[in-house]
Homo-oligomer: A and B are copies of this chain.
Amino acid sequence: FRRTQSLHGPSPVTTFGPKACMLKNPKAVMHIQDPASQRLTWNKPPKSVLVIKKIQDVSLLQPFKELCIFLTEQKKMIVYVERKVLEDPAIANDESFVAVKKNFCTFREDFDDISNRVDFIICLGGDGTLLYASSLFQESVPPVMAFHLGSLGFLTPFNFDTYQSQVTQVIEGNAAIILRSRLKVKVVKESREKTKTKDKNLIITNGEAEATRKTMQYQVLNEVVVDRGPSSYLSNVDLFLDGHLITTVQGDGVIVSTPTGSTAYAVAAGASMIHPNVPAILITPICPHSLSFRPIVVPAGVELKIMLSREARNNAWVSFDGRKRQEIGHGDSITITTSCFPVPSICFRDPVNDWFESLAQCLHWNVRKKQSHLSSEEEEEEF
């Protein structure tokens, strides 16, 4: 099947009737490669590969070892593995594996930065392995190839059975990719701990107010969740879009998702599902107080900001792809935009087929029992 138009949609005609047209503004023009035609290529042959394995899953041990042997011995690649993976007794005590792992490069999360040393990533396990891989690369992400062992995941399209030929093809540069957009999240926190010392220093130092702030930044593949945490009270947060207060969320919380994340927590909270090639951000309230608070989909380029409402009686909690959970108090802010560092995820077939396959497999989307009956309507004369 050959596409006759871009997956993104056709360029709109910009003359409107006989006399009007769009004002040209060359500075504001974007150049976008058709998502349907996005393919991987290598500037130089990949030499290093990061292998991520879901831990505490015995069924993955054998595939992991096989894969590592294949990569080191046949493909002559340098394998990067997190140190704690090798500390698993089943691996640590496997004498036959000693020779193999001798050549591994190991690293520790939050200690060792491998972001510029890895050419290629292979994931073994569930969708969480890809979220973890994403978290390791706060800027450019190497191509990711993700294998599910048991059942297909949204982010793990490859079956392990034929891993050798599949990996070989990718290394040779023969692969369709989908750029999964991420969210760039900036959390600014007022350092309440220092409030007391602050008064003392205030006279001496200019910019002290600035100095007592703490800023953190995250790249998020699925979603940012702001919720009530352990509290029984409703959370109460203000949502700003491009600097304007859009609405106040009163309820269990709010989810800001990428299209990739639309099939994760957001769909459970009632959102529609968005194909990862749609440039958009999805905002979904969690159990909102207001019955009319439907999820909304906004353009990828907006800047969102979330802060506690003035009337909020308790703090909120935020997490990023389910990690780094932390409390948010009055004055703190969470700023969210689409990142320019997507995750280049290697497709099993193509972005469209892979997505519909995962909807059916992971969410039973419209999987029906052919013979069943909704109502008598089907049956008027033929019951």
Contact = CB atoms under 8 A, between A and B. Distances in A.
Interface string A346-376: 0000001100100101111111110111111
Interface stretch (A92-100, A140-148, A205-213): A140-148
Interface stretch (A61-69, A190-198, A246-254): A246-254
B301 A128 contact: no
B1 A242 contact: yes
B143 A16 contact: yes
A275 B337 CA distance: 16
Main SS at interface, chain A: loop
A329 interface: no
B278 A375 contact: no
Interface in A257-315: 259, 261-262, 264-265, 267-275, 277-280, 282, 284-303, 313
Contacts of A20: 40-43, 46, 119-120, 142-143, 344
B18 A119 contact: yes
Interface string A145-172: 0000011010000000000000000000
Interface residues of A, number: 169
B366 A177 contact: no
A375 to B, nearest CB: 4
B383 A301 contact: no
B295 A292 contact: no
A353 B244 contact: yes
Contacts of A137: 17
Interface in A128-143: 128-129, 131-132, 137, 139-143
A316 B24 CA distance: 45
B290 A267 contact: no
A325 to B, nearest CB: 6
A241 interface: yes
10 closest Cβ pairs, A-B complex: A9-B300, A17-B142, A128-B379, A128-B383, A322-B376, A230-B230, A264-B375, A322-B377, A291-B292, A28-B34
Nearest to A383: B128
Given A7-B302, A30-B31, A17 B272 contact: no
Given A126-B383, A279-B278, A383-B129, A232 B287 contact: no
A376 B323 contact: yes
B234 A301 contact: no
Given A232-B380, A375-B222, A17 B302 contact: no
A140 B13 contact: yes
A22 interface: yes
Given A19-B45, A232-B325, A383-B54, A29 B28 contact: no
